Structure 1
Amino acid sequence: MNPPAQLILTVDYEVFGDGSGQPRSCVLESTERILAIAESRGVPLTLFVEALEFAAMEREPACQTQSDAVRLQLTEALARGHDLQLHLHPQWRGAKLDPAGNWQFDLSRWRIGDLPFHEVVGLLEQGKVWLEGLGRKQRPDYRCIAFRAGGWCIQPSALVLAALSDQGFLIDSTVAPGLRNATAGEWSDFRDAPDLPFWNVDQDLTVPVSHGVWEFPILTGRVARLDHLKALRKAGLAKGCQGSYRGPGGAAARLFGRLNRLRQLGTVMLDFSTLPAPQLIEITRQWCERFAGEPASLPLAAIGHSKNFTATSERALSEYLDWVNGQGIVGTTYPDALELISSG
């Protein structure tokens, strides 16, 4: 008999990529609600922490109060049985506040996949040192072993994967099979991802090999196009959160991105901050049926964003986790999931 499937419930813990949004309303308050829902159902949460942005905030006296609150929430999350792993948007390295209180950084560095090897190594090292320095004060055995690229912009992936190996990362969880973003300066393309629940990679994320970093993909699936459109229309920002999705390409690129998303209606990630419970359940069912014959325990990586977690999201996540528990699916973290797969 196969072991039960394992839900890895993840949140990208961050403000907006252009620096807009306040940590309290866009990160802290919504994350506390997610933690409470997960804990009430016995499911650990994995926070993919955008370490560079919070390190930048710590350097700014105007951000100290909220920076302290971020550190407190993260260490308390570890103490409560949750996990922290690394999320990076490269433009945050060296970011500074201007006199008007706006973040200034180089938006041309948006994609980690476009950077040279030594820069990627430096970014990963800085983020990992920051996160492990914070985590080990609470839990001395804490390790940062998993990564998710900001904006899913990990391609071309060869240098990033080499840098991940160099810095001791064991897992990437960026790939969303079947999805593509064609927006200039923000592109990603996972349409050629293998039909596997997890795999090893060393050059191309979409080509499985017998060694290298593990890829634990974000679950994706198909839902009715009209249902997807309705979900997108209902999606919004967390209570009190205000910010901009401005990227490196400006207004024209944002418009192109919206049109691109409309073309992909019906193909969705397992995103509990934007989808209703019936769609979350359907995607999970599809994935479990698709890989029912796998000998190893099946990892199910779900994604959410603190800045997009609304009252509607709260209801969806609560209903979804109730269903998960009813199905015998077990909540877990990346280190525990990898240990189970490796031992199998």
Structure 2
Amino acid sequence: MILSHCYKIKPNQEQITKIDNWLELLRRHWNYALGQRLYWLNRTRCQIDRCSIISCPIGEISCRPDYYFQQSALKETKQLFPDYKEIYSEVQQINLQKLDKAWKRWLVPDKTGKRFGRPRFKKSGKLRSLCFSRVNHSKAAVKFDGKQIIISRLGIIPVIVHRPIPNGFTIKTATITKKADGYYVSFSLEDKSVPSVIPTDNIKTAVGVDVGLKEFLTTNTSETVSVPNFYRKAQSNLARKQSKAARKEIGSNNWQKAQNKIARLHQHIARQREDFHYKTAHKLVKEYDLIAVEDLNIKGLARNTKLSKSIYDVAWGAFIEKLSAVAVKRGVHVSRGEWPFARTPS
């Protein structure tokens, strides 16, 4: 079983400056690596009718810039730009792995034939996380002793441990993330002794759940949960803050403060929604051994411009993901299928 625990950290001003500098360097490296891949793609994918009949000069085509090619070029990058020597190699490699994963999702369709969008260049401040692949290992850059994380090139960073690491779980990875209200560290925990397949012998109670817009969900026993409308309730406050930010000079300190207030409000709305999802999921998991939900095409439903804001506000997909995660920890089954009588949201 794999879990994820997120804790707030309290770096000092010097550590904050260094983390922000690392994130900016990783963002530039992401953009350079993506540009290298797109340039190679444009050089090698030219339509045949675009060439002259008489002659068409073809320059030397470089090697395919896949992950292994770009990873081997990290040494040269550090020689040309010494600032990259401060960043751990594993952090830079994971940054390239994320780009490679996004690249393959764009070019290679999945089992259903769908593909994701093209990877994008990241603006300043858009890359907000750096990941360490090993924790509490002899060669790991990150050590966690239960109260603080120790990074050799950053120092000791206090951690607000609001819940302990479960017994039997080992920390696999650590990710430092910059959010609107500060910095956080997320630990990926694994316990190989917990089976991933849940037995079906002890199923005694079952329920069917239908999500909607008038009611957040309705069970087959006619129980309902009302829609909280967190975003709708905060719209006037959000519009007021955005109006104030629009009157500031772009890039100034006052503009940055106004943007941070908007980001904190969005974060507050997201946390309200997340808390509501988890409480609803725990309530269902405590009462039933099997929960059946419909496998909705949420993107297709959200194409309706009159309902799209309400659909994204209730966040059915995020709720079903949280329900599945809570059910696995409690040993409850979640079945996802297509129901012919529920084609449109209520």
Work out whether the TM-score is over 0.5: no
| Higher RCO (CA < 8 A, seq sep 6+) | 1
Q: Which has the larger radius of gyration?
A: 2
Shorter-chain TM-score: what band?
under 0.3
